Structure 1
Amino acid sequence: MLMELTVRNFALIEEVHLSLELGLNILTGETGAGKSILLDAVSLILGGRASSDLVRSGAAKATIEALFAVPVADEFRELCEEYGVDLEDDQVLVVRELSAAGKNVCRVNGRMVTVQMLKRFGQYLMSMHGQHEHQTLTDPREQLMLIDAFGGEGLLPLREQVVASFRDFREARQKLRAARLGEQERIQRLDIVRFQLQEILEAKPRLGEDTDLEEERKRLAYAEKLYAASNSSYEHLYSGAGRSSSALDQLNQTIIDLESVVRYDDTLAPTLELVKTALVHVEEAAHTLRDYRDEVEFNPNKLSQLDERLNVLRRLRKKYGDTVEEILAYQDKLVHDLEALENHEENLERLTQELERTGNVLAKNAVALSKARRVTSERLAKAVMHELGELMMPNTQFAISFTQIQEEDGLPIGERCVHVTEAGIDRVEFLFSPNVGESLRPLAKIASGGELSRTMLALKTLLADADQVGTLIFDEVDTGISGRAAQAVAEKLAVVSVKRQVICVTHLAQVSSMADTHYLIEKSMEDGRTRTAVYALDDEARVREVARMISGTELTETTVRHASEMLERARRFKR
C-alpha cells in the first residue's frame, strides 16, 4: 500500500504531503483545483512520461516521493534482487526528480534506476485507472490481456509456453526464409565464401603468430644496437674496456682490501659478505651478456621474410578481423556457411522440418491456451454480469466472442492457417447488451460513458484479486453516472477497499461519503502565485464538503442535513 506521498514544485503544487491509510481514500475539490495534477505526479512514480514543463515556475527541480509497504508478490522481491535494490523494514521508497533543464532521475530505495525499470516496479506497487481508461476496454489486445489476467495461474503458464514456442517458431521461419535465397544469389555467395576461405587457409595464420613475429622482427631490425649494448656491458662488467679495469676486477680488489683489515674490526664482515655476493651476481650477469651477445642474429634475408609474413597477416586483419583469433573465428564461420551453401537442398529440408516441428509445438500450445481462455472467459463474463448487477445494471448481458484470423503464411492448425503472435491465435471482443431484448453487440459501439465506467470498475474489481496489487487508484471512475448508479459505485468502491487500499478522485457526494479518509484539494492565490494544497478533513469538515458537492458553493441547512444523513448511511453500510 501507499503510505506516504510528498510532491514538491510540481506544476501548481509547491509542496504537498499526504499520509494515506488503508481502506477508501477519497480526493475531492473544485474543478481545476489540482486533482489531476496530483495524480499526474503519482503516475510518474509508476514510470509515466515526464516533461520539464511540469517543474513549477521558478524552481530548479520537481520531486515526487512515495513510500510503500513491500508488495506481497514474490516476483517483486525477485525484481529487487535483479536490480540490486535492498529492502529495508519491508518498505520501498520511490523518488522521481525532474529538473528544469530536462534531467530525469529515478531512485528505488536509493538505487538509481531507469524509467523502464521503474515501470516494472510500478506494476507491483499500484494499479492506476484514469477517467479515460475505459476506452482501453474497446481494444481487442487489452481485452485479451484482461482475460489472461483473470485466468491467473490457470492461464499465465500456458501463455508463457506460447511465448516460448512462438519465438522458436519465428526463429525457424526466419532461418528458412533466409535459406531460400535466389539461386543466382546463392552461387554468388558461394564464390565469395570459397575465395575468402581459400585466402585464409593458404595463409595458415596461427594463434598469437602476429605478436610473436612482431617481437622477432624487432630483434632482427635492431640487431646492431643489441650487439653493441650487450658487448659494451660485458666489457664493463668482466673484461674491461680499454685501459679501465672491469667491475669484476674492482670488486675483487675491494674484497682483498677488506679481508686485510676485517680482523682488526669485525663490523666490516657484513659489508665484506655483501661485496662477495655482488661479485657473484656481476659475474653471472657478465656471462649472461656474453652468451646473449654471441647469439645476436644479423640476418637481413630473414627480416625481409618476416616483413612479408606480417604484411600477409595485416591484409587478413583488414578484411576478416582485428586479431588472428578473430580471423580464425571467421574462418570457422566460412566453413559452416560453405557447408550450408553446398548442401543447400539438404539444409532446406532440415529447416523445413524444424519449422514444421516448432509449428506443431506452437499450434498445440496455442490451441491449449485458446481452450483455457474460452473456459475462463465464460467465468469472467458471469462474474462481470454479477458485478454489473450490483452496480445497478441488473439486466446487462455480457459475453466474449473468439475469432481467429486466417492468413496465407500463418500457423497451420487443422485445415487452416491462422495469424499467430506471442499472445496466441485468439482475437477477442467484449459483447454487451444493457437492456432486455437487445442483442449482444460490441462494447465499443453500444455502451454509454457511464456504462463503460461501471464495466471498467467491475473488471478492475475482479482483477484486483488476480493481480494482488496493494493499491488501486481510480480517477473519476464515476464519470457519466448519477443517482442510484452513483450509490452502487460508491458501495462497490467501499467493498473493494476492504481488501485493497483504494484512492479515488470523485465529483460525486455518494462516493465521497464512503471515504475512510477524505482529502480536500484546494487552489489559492498567495503573493501573486497560484498554489494547490491538500487537507485531510475531520468529521465536521467532511459534512461541509459533501454538502458542497450536493448543492454547489452555497450551503443551506437542508444540504448540510442531507450530507450528514448521507455520511451516516455510508457508516451503516460499511459496518
Structure 2
Amino acid sequence: MLQELFIRNFALIEEVRLTFDSGLTILTGETGAGKSIILDALGLIVGGRASSEMVRQGAEKAIIEALFIIDQNRDAWLQLFNDMGFEWNEDDTLVVTREVSASGKNVCRVNGRIVTVQMLRQIGKRLLDIVGQHENQSLLRVEDQLDLLDAFGGSEISALRREVSDLYHRFNDARRVLRDAQLGEKERMQRIDILRFQMDEIDAAGFTPGEDVRLEEERRMLAHAEKLYASAANAYAVLYQGSERQHSILDLLYRVLQDLETAERYDASLAPIVELIKTAGYQLEEAAHDLRSYRDTVESNPARLRELEERIALLSRLQKKYGENVEAILQYAEKIRTELYELENHEEHIVKLQQELEKIGKQLAEKALLLSEKRKEVAEDLSELVMGELTNLMMPKTQFAIHFQEFSDADGICVGNRWVHVSETGIDRIEFLFSPNIGEPLRPLAKIASGGELSRTMLALTTLLSDVAGVQTLVFDEVDTGISGRAAQAVAEKLSIVSETKQVICVTHLPQVACMADTHYQIVKHQTGQRTYTEVTCLSEEERIEELARMLSGPELTDTTRKAAEEMLRLARLVKTG
C-alpha cells in the first residue's frame, strides 16, 4: 500500500508531500491545476518514461519518492528481492526514488540501491496499477491480457501453463538437437574425419587416470636424484655410521642410556625416562635402516628422465586441445566417441531423435489443447462477470467477449489436423472485445471511442482482475470521463466498494464520485509574480463542502449549492455504511 509520496521540482510542483491511507482517496481541482502531475509522478515511480522536460523550470533536477508498506504477498516479494540480489527491510517497507535531471540523466533507486528502469518496472507492476489514458492501461495491452485471463483461471490454469512451458522448452531442445544432427553428407563426413583423428590421437597416447600426477612426481624425483641420494646418505651416516671425528647419534644415545641404567639402580624414578630413551633409540634405528633402503633405491637415470619429459610434453599438447588434465581429456574422448558412433550410425540416430521429437510434440499438443479448452471455459465465465459489472454501471446492453485466435505454422505443432504456432504460453492469442450497443460489432477494447464507455469498462475489468493482478493500490485517472447522472453514481459506488479491499486513488471531476472519498485532496494552481506553482491540500469536512459546491455550480457558490453538497456527503456516508 502506498503510504507517502514526496515530489520536488516536478513540472508545476515546487514541493509537496502527500500521505495516503487505505480506502478511497480523491484528487479534485480545476482543469489544468496539476492533477495529472501527481499521476505522472506515480507513473515514474513504477518505471514510466522520464524526460528532462518534467523538471521544473530553473531547477537542476526533479525528485519523486514513494514509501510503500508491503503487508500482502510477502513471500513473493522476498523471492523477487532475493532474485534481484536485494536485502529486504525488516519493517516491510519499500522506498522507491526517481531523480530526473535537467540534463536528461535519470536515476532509479529501490531501498537506496540503484536499479535499472527495467528492474523498476518489474517491481512497479506489483505495487500499483494506473488506469488512465490508453497507452498507460495495462488491461488494454494485448500481450498482458492472456496473463490476466490465466491468473483469473486460478491454480488449474497455472499448473497447465507450467506443464506447457516445460514441454515447449523440451520440444525446442529436441528440435535443435535433431537439426544439428541432420547435417549434410559432406559436413557429416568432415566431422567424422575430425573426430576419428582426435580419437586416434588420444587413444595412441594411452594415458590413464591420474597419470599426469604420477609423471610429474617421478620426473621431479629423477631430476633431483643426486641431491636426494646425498641427503639420504648423509642422514644415514649421522644417525648410524658416524665418522672418524664424530660418533653417530645412535652411539651417543646408547652411551647416555648405559649411564642412566646405572643411575636407575640408585633411583627407580628414572625408569620412565630410561624407557623413553630406549623407545627413541628403537625408532631412530628403524629410521636409519629405512634411510639406507631409500638411499639404495635412488639412482640417476637420464634415459628415463628423457622419456618422462617427452611424455609430459605430449600431455601438454593434448591439454591445449582437449582438456586441462588427463581426466578431462579422457572425458572428452568419451564424448566424441559417442558422437562418432551417432555419426557413423547416422540414420539410426536420426530416427531415434525424430521419434523423441514426435513424442514430446504430441505431449505438447495435448497439453496445449487442454490449456486452450480450459481457457475458453474461464473466458466465458469472465465475460459474463464483466457484463454483469457493466450492467451495474448503467451499461446493460454492452457485449463483452474474449476472442481466441491461432496462427498457422508449418514449423509448429500438430493439433488435431492442423499445424499451429506454439510458444511457452501455448497456442492461444487472445484479445478483449467490446460492443456498447446491440447490433454493433464486437471490437478490440483498445479501439473503443467513447471515453465514458471505456472508463466504465476499465473499472469493471479492474474490479474483477485486480486481485489476480496482485497489486494493492489502484490509481484511476478520470475514470468518470464522459458520464453523468445515474452512471456517475454507479461508478462512485463501485469505486467505494473496490476501496473496501484495495487502496484506491482517483482523479475526478464529478461531485458524485468526490463525495465518496475517505480522504480528499484539492489541487490548486497559483501564480506568484512570473512563476506558476501547484498546491495540494488535504480538505477538512467544511472544506469538502466548499469543494463539492464548486464542482456542482462552478466558482459562484450559493447557499443552495452548499446545502446540496452537504446532502451529497450525508447520502454518501449512508451508502458507505450500508
What's the TM-score bracket when you normalise by the shorter of the two chains?
Answer: 0.7 to 0.9
Which of 199, 202, 219 in structure 2 is aligned with 1:200? 202
Count matched residues.
564
1:448–1:212 CA distance, 2 compared to 1 (3 A): farther
Number of the residue aligned with 2:375: 373
Number of the residue aligned with 1:243: 245
Number of the residue aligned with 1:189: 191
1:171–1:278 CA distance, 2 compared to 1 (3 A): same
Counting only pairs closer than 5 Å after superposition, residues 220-299 of structure 1 correspond to structure 2 as 220-241=222-243, 243-256=245-258, 278-299=280-301
Q: CA RMSD in A?
A: 4.3
Number of the residue aligned with 1:396: 398
Instruction: Work out the percentage of aligned pairs sharing the same amino acid.
Output: 48
Number of the residue aligned with 2:479: 478
Number of the residue aligned with 2:565: 563
1:18–1:531 CA distance, 2 compared to 1 (3 A): farther
C-alpha distance in 2, partners of 1:34/1:103?
Answer: 19
C-alpha distance in 1, partners of 2:345/2:49?
Answer: 52
1:213–1:116 CA distance, 2 compared to 1 (3 A): farther
**TM-score normalised to the size of structure 2?**
0.82
* Corresponding residue SS for 1:155: helix
- Of 458-467 and 76-85, the range deviating more from structure 2: 76-85
Q: Is 1:149 paired with 2:151?
A: yes
* Corresponding residue SS for 2:441: coil
Is the 8 Å Cα contact of residues 71 and 124 (structure 1) preserved in structure 2? no
Q: Which amino acid aligns with 2:317?
A: R
- 1:340-371: CA deviation from partner (whole Å, max 9, x where unpaired): 11121112212222222222222222222222
Number of the residue aligned with 2:212: 210
Q: Is 1:327 paired with 2:329?
A: yes
Question: How far does residue 248 in structure 1 lie from its aligned partner after superposition?
Answer: 3.1
Question: How far does residue 194 in structure 1 lie from its aligned partner after superposition?
Answer: 1.4
Question: How far does residue 417 in structure 1 lie from its aligned partner after superposition?
Answer: 1.1
1:447–1:245 CA distance, 2 compared to 1 (3 A): same
1:15–1:240 CA distance, 2 compared to 1 (3 A): farther
C-alpha distance in 2, partners of 1:423/1:172?
Answer: 18
* Corresponding residue SS for 2:46: helix
Q: Which amino acid aligns with 2:345?
A: N
1:155–1:246 CA distance, 2 compared to 1 (3 A): same
Q: Which amino acid aligns with 2:479?
A: D
Question: How far does residue 223 in structure 1 lie from its aligned partner after superposition?
Answer: 0.7
Is the 8 Å Cα contact of residues 166 and 362 (structure 1) preserved in structure 2? yes
1:266–1:387 CA distance, 2 compared to 1 (3 A): same
**TM-score normalised to the size of structure 1?**
0.82
Counting only pairs closer than 5 Å after superposition, residues 346-495 of structure 1 correspond to structure 2 as 346-467=348-469, 469=470, 471-478=472-479, 480-484=481-485, 485-495=487-497
Number of the residue aligned with 2:92: 92
- Of 292-301 and 273-282, the range deviating more from structure 2: 273-282
Question: How far does residue 115 in structure 1 lie from its aligned partner after superposition?
Answer: 8.5
Question: How far does residue 111 in structure 1 lie from its aligned partner after superposition?
Answer: 11
Question: How far does residue 431 in structure 1 lie from its aligned partner after superposition?
Answer: 2.6
- 1:281-302: CA deviation from partner (whole Å, max 9, x where unpaired): 4444333332322221311111
C-alpha distance in 1, partners of 2:417/2:219?
Answer: 71
Is the 8 Å Cα contact of residues 233 and 289 (structure 1) preserved in structure 2? yes
1:506–1:264 CA distance, 2 compared to 1 (3 A): farther
Counting only pairs closer than 5 Å after superposition, residues 31-50 of structure 1 correspond to structure 2 as 31=34, 34-36=37-39, 38-40=41-43, 42-43=45-46
Is the 8 Å Cα contact of residues 126 and 471 (structure 1) preserved in structure 2? yes
Question: How far does residue 277 in structure 1 lie from its aligned partner after superposition?
Answer: 5.3
* Corresponding residue SS for 1:65: strand
Is the 8 Å Cα contact of residues 69 and 94 (structure 2) preserved in structure 1? yes
Q: Which amino acid aligns with 1:172?
A: A
Number of the residue aligned with 2:24: 24
C-alpha distance in 1, partners of 2:176/2:287?
Answer: 67
* Corresponding residue SS for 2:208: coil
* Corresponding residue SS for 2:413: strand
Is the 8 Å Cα contact of residues 9 and 61 (structure 1) preserved in structure 2? yes
- 1:219-273: CA deviation from partner (whole Å, max 9, x where unpaired): 1101111111222222233323551333334434444555666788888877766
* Corresponding residue SS for 1:195: helix
* Corresponding residue SS for 1:177: helix
C-alpha distance in 2, partners of 1:112/1:256?
Answer: 82
Question: How far does residue 390 in structure 1 lie from its aligned partner after superposition?
Answer: 2.3
C-alpha distance in 1, partners of 2:28/2:260?
Answer: 103
C-alpha distance in 2, partners of 1:84/1:417?
Answer: 42
- Of 446-455 and 275-284, the range deviating more from structure 2: 275-284
* Corresponding residue SS for 1:498: coil
C-alpha distance in 2, partners of 1:76/1:336?
Answer: 46
Question: How far does residue 508 in structure 1 lie from its aligned partner after superposition?
Answer: 4.0
Is the 8 Å Cα contact of residues 164 and 364 (structure 2) preserved in structure 1? yes
Which of 340, 346, 350 in structure 2 is aligned with 1:338? 340
Number of the residue aligned with 2:311: 309
Q: Which amino acid aligns with 1:189?
A: R
Q: Which amino acid aligns with 1:196?
A: Q
Question: How far does residue 185 in structure 1 lie from its aligned partner after superposition?
Answer: 0.9
Question: How far does residue 278 in structure 1 lie from its aligned partner after superposition?
Answer: 4.7
Is the 8 Å Cα contact of residues 128 and 475 (structure 2) preserved in structure 1? no
Number of the residue aligned with 1:496: 498
Question: How far does residue 38 in structure 1 lie from its aligned partner after superposition?
Answer: 4.7
Question: How far does residue 505 in structure 1 lie from its aligned partner after superposition?
Answer: 4.0
